[in-house]
Structure 1
C-alpha cells in the first residue's frame, strides 16, 4: 500500500493515471498530452509499473501502457474500511447543525416576540 501511495502522490504520475483512465496509451501519446519530455514520462511509467499500477504491452517498436485494476481495488477496500468513521462524523455534524439551527430559530422567535 505504501508503494501505491508513493506512486500516486507525484503530480505527473497522477496525471498519467488520469490519462490512462481513458484507455491504453503509448509513451508518445502520454508525452504529447502532458507536454513532458519522453525520458520524464518513461521514468514515471517505470515507477508506476514497479508499483503494479500500470502494465505494459510491447507492440512492435511501441510500448502500450494500461492501468491495472487490482491496486485500485485494494485502495478502494482500504478506504472503505474508514467509511463507518466518516459516516459517524457526518452524522454528528448533521446533528450539531440541526441543533444550531434550532437555537437560532428560537432566538429569532424571541426577538420577534419582543418587537411586537
Structure 2
C-alpha cells in the first residue's frame, strides 16, 4: 500500500469522526424543529478540513485560473440541482468509486 494512500485513508477516517457529532446534532435538531424545511443549511469547515484541502492541492477561491472554471461548474451544478434538472451519471460515479477503491488496495 502506498504511504500517500494510507495517509489519505487516515485523514478520511478522521474527517468522518469529526462529522459524526454534527450529524447527530442535525438529527436531534430535525426532531425538535419539525424537520429540515424549518431550518437553514449551514456549512463550515474545520481547520483540519482546510489543512487537508491544502495538502491535497485543492485550489482556494483567491487563486485565479482554473478555479474560475471550477467555480462556474459548481454554480452550474448548483443551479441544476435547485431546479431539479441535475441527472447524475451512474457509470461515471461507479468508475470513480472503483478507481478510488483500486488505489486504496495498492
* Bin for the TM-score computed over the shorter chain: under 0.3
| Structure with higher strand content | 1
State the structure with more CA Rg: 1
TM-score, structure 1 length as denominator? 0.25
